[in-house]
Structure 1
């Protein structure tokens, strides 16, 4: 006979209580639809049942994570009763996995939206760029009733969390639009979505700089497995980083070297001051010299592997005045010499 030790008690939740009680009430309603008792989930989330009767009450992001995770497993429904059929545990992880091999965020989000339609046709999701703004739009194809707000907010926040995670970037919103009227807890939306929120709008949507759609997908299967251990963090907490400027600088260095001779030229091309350029790169954990080196390294490696051009010519193409300084820099970047990289390759046409 197997015996199981009781699980250690969870620590008392900390953090600011910003999540409205209306979302807890929506989860309780999902339990009621299934004829199940929500008390175990409330206990897991350290939420007193009497707090459900306090419309002004709030809970922390950690409480929401505990409550939602318990409810999704108990109901075997990651949609928590929003849709006409359940989304079994693991559904949203499957959507993310289908997007991992996308070359960039635009393709990844298009896949995510398309595959979401295979899980349920109660809503339709679509990403479209226009005049430099990307819009992730959610269209209700069936009335979501009393769970409308919780469903729409959760799906949009999950999509944004996935986008941020796939690119390892914090994607700031230009605007959030919602078709429903401002709820009594409308002040919570300053935390749920950054940027302005427009209620009574024609559509449900998230709007952000379309430049993010070109960011490469940076995650793999191993990263996905780690993320899925606490996947709800993508929905209940904002992402921590923003690498858009890093990617813009990297792209400019690679595609427009004529604007990259010095920081002043590069900053002017990006409509920034040189001081702001250096400051923002530092905030994103990078430096202009690091990015220059990375672009030079990638170009040099590409030329070494794809062509048989002389080392001296490659050195010149990647911006070095002589072969010796290029070889020294290449060894510092890769731990190898240019000749060593080529030594095991078959001859290729130049």
Structure 2
């Protein structure tokens, strides 16, 4: 019988493999509040996670992912509540596993996420989850309808990391975050959010929301029942796993090269726009059977031909529009692509 899953605990993304102490102590304090609400002691859970009681109230203290997993796992079992006190009633052990299974048969990620949001509403009325699309972006929103006072941050961060981690697992792909918003003020440990989420984070907004490229919603579910059974035995690695593959990376690179040719002049600038490093970008493209130079040439060639055919712009302006620093290098590249100079190409027709 497979073990039920626990929520995907909000820890630093590299902490599981490197033992980095990057998880804020505020999340530990939130778990201890859940114990206090039940008039129970968290001493055994702290001991199991090797967290010194004196460190709990030190604002600068941090713990590792492994410690957070041990603490939260013990708390969920002792309290029989996978929500750790956030809602009007406990979520019995296995609740999140049930949600994951209910979404597994969906044909695409978009359908799976809509199911997750709808089914989550059957478990609690304290939060409302929703998925929407607008102008090429997908938004997962979380409305606070009555989270237990003092646990809002821990709840929202956990739920958001939970659903984002599961979404990446469903399609076996990194899903880059375009931006995250929170309805509360920036906490003292706000710097930790740079690790928790790989996109820009803003606070004091009207709604908690996570945005990503809507094209991921159409990708098919890659997991099956056997993979689900294995995943449910230990859910934390799904959240912190550094997914190497991004199944939409080639399309995303083409889009940036097309819409922002000057801003994506070199690999470092392009990688920054995609919220990754140049080294990672090159490696992931190679894994997808592509290269940055080939994609640049493809996009520039298509754009140059379009401008030469449909406009009367001078060759120098065409060169600038497709991302070349000077006319001479553009002419040389264009002749390599087509066997003709830009002037000869335009004069054909």
In 1, the alpha carbon distance for the partners of 2:81 and 2:180 equals 26
The correspondence for 1:63, drawn from 54, 67, 74, is: 67
Number of the residue aligned with 1:191: 195
Give the Å deviation of 1:280: 5.1
Gap runs ≥5 in structure 1? 1-11, 250-265, 290-350
2:204 alignment counterpart: 200
SS of the residue 2:155 aligns to: helix
Pairing 1:77–2:81 present: yes
Secondary structure at the counterpart of residue 241 of structure 1: coil
Alignment of 1:147-158 (within 5 A): 147-158=151-162
Counterparts of 1:216-235 in structure 2 under 5 Å?
A: 216-235=220-239
Partners of 2:59 and 2:255 lie apart in 1 by 51
Report deviation, 1:242: 3.3
How big is the alpha-carbon RMSD for the aligned residues of Structure 1 and Structure 2?
2.7
Q: 1:178: how far off? A: 0.2
1:96 Cα deviation after fit: 0.7
Matched with 2:58 is 54
Q: Relative to structure 1, is the Cα distance of residues 76 and 268 closer, same or farther in structure 2, using a 3 angstrom cutoff?
A: closer
Q: Aligned in 2, Cα 1:220/1:40: closer, same or farther, shift over 3 Å?
A: same
Residue 149 of structure 2 corresponds to 145
Question: Which residue number in structure 2 is paired with residue 165 of structure 1?
Answer: 169
Q: Give the corresponding residue for 2:92.
A: 88
Which residue does the alignment assign to 1:245? Answer: 248
The counterpart of 1:43, out of the listed 40, 47, 60, is 47
Shift, 1:241, TM fit: 2.9
**Structure 2 CA distance, aligned partners of 1:212 and 1:232?**
22
For the residues of structure 2 that align with 1:28 and 1:19, how far apart are their CA atoms?
Answer: 15
> Aligned with 2:151: secondary structure?
helix
Which string of whole-angstrom CA distances, capped at 9 and with x for unpartnered residues, describes residues 61-93 of structure 1?
A: 111111111111111111001101011111001
2:5 aligned residue = none
The Cα shift of 1:32 comes to 1.1
Structure 1 position 194, deviation (Å): 1.2
The CA deviation string for residues 149-177 of structure 1, in whole angstroms up to 9 with x for no partner, is: 00000000000001010011111111100
Query: Per the alignment, in what secondary structure is the counterpart of residue 22 of structure 2?
Result: strand
How far apart are the structure 2 equivalents of 1:142 and 1:287? 48
8 Å contact kept, 1:14–1:62:
no
Residue 136 of structure 2 is aligned to residue 132 of structure 1: yes
Gap regions ≥5 residues in structure 2: 1-15, 271-279, 292-349
Q: Look up the match of 2:304.
A: none
How far residue 270 of structure 1 moved from its aligned partner, in angstroms, is: 7.9
Q: Is the 8 Å Cα contact of residues 246 and 281 (structure 1) preserved in structure 2?
A: no
- Of the three residues 8, 14, 21, the one matched with 2:25 is 21
Q: CA deviation at 1:288?
A: 5.4
What is the Cα deviation at residue 239 of structure 1? Answer: 4.0
CA distance in 2, matches of 1:214, 1:239: 22
Task: Give distance in 2, aligned partners of 1:82 and 1:138.
Answer: 14
Is contact 1:69–1:232 with CA below 8 Å preserved after alignment? no
Aligned position for 2:274:
none
Local SS of the residue matching 1:244? coil
1:292-335 alpha-carbon deviations (Å, 9 max, x no partner): xxxxxxxxxxxxxxxxxxxxxxxxxxxxxxxxxxxxxxxxxxxx
Query: What SS class does the counterpart of residue 138 from structure 2 fall into?
Result: strand
Larger RCO: Structure 1 or Structure 2 (Cα < 8 Å, ≥ 6 residues apart)?
2
- For residues 198 and 268 of structure 1, do their structure 2 counterparts lie closer, same or farther at Cα, with a shift above 3 Å needed? closer
Q: CA deviation at 1:245?
A: 2.9
Are positions 1:287 and 2:284 aligned together?
no
Verify the 8 A CA contact 2:165 2:238 in the aligned structure 1.
Answer: yes
Counterpart in the other structure of 2:13? none
Task: Report the equivalent of 2:324.
Answer: none
Aligned to 1:222, the other structure's residue is in SS state helix
**Superposition TM-score, scaled by structure 2 size:** 0.69
Q: Does 1:114 align with 2:118?
A: yes
Give yes or no for contact 1:77–1:89 (8 Å, CA) kept in 2: yes
Structure 2 Cα separation of the partners of residues 233 and 80 of structure 1: 20
Could you tell me whether the CA contact under 8 Å between 2:85 and 2:148 is conserved in 1?
no
Q: CA deviation at 1:244?
A: 2.6
